Amino acid sequence: MNDMYTEKVLDHFRNPRNMGKMENPDGIGKVGNLQCGDVMAIYIKVKDEKIFDIKFQTFGCTAAIASSSIATELVKGKTLNEALKLTRTDVARELGGLPAIKMHCSLLATDALKAAIEDYRRKKKGG
């Protein structure tokens, strides 16, 4: 099984960055994939339209956890608009590649991030 994954994927799985629940986030994005059972939540704190803190909780496979971890690393400190440009291909490339059957995990990570930003913007408009 481990020969399916690059060392970088395994590193982010074994030592995930930014993992955990965030108290009082500015935005929350939750997504899931019914076929594989992966569920992902990304929490963001925003200051001056930049993501200054980000955390994730992922219940899923090696690729799902690694994708969540690398995605949070890639957008921390970026503006919301820069973060929205992150694609599933960017996530997979940063991990050194994912098996084709695991590419949906990189999409989950970017979808959760986008949902968190949309949640933040919706709350900001309403308040």
Any idea where the domains of the chain sit in the sequence?
2-122
Bridge partners (DSSP) of residue 47 are: 50
pLDDT digits (tens, 9 = 90+) for 26-64: 999 999 987 778 999 999 999 999 999 999 999 999 999
Confidence of residue 127 (pLDDT cuts 50, 70, 90): low
Burial class (CB in 10 A: 0-12, 13-18, 19+), 81: exposed
**For residue 56, what are the β-bridge partners?**
19, 42
pLDDT of 93 strictly over 80: yes
pLDDT confidence tier of residue 2, bands split at 50, 70 and 90: low
Q: How many helices (H) and strands (E) does the chain have?
A: 5, 3
Measured CA to CA, the distance from residue 109 to residue 101 in angstroms comes to 15
36 is a catalytic site residue: yes
61 is catalytic: no
Which of 36, 61, 103, 107 is the catalytic position? 36
The domain at 2-122 falls in which architecture?
Alpha-Beta Complex (3.90)
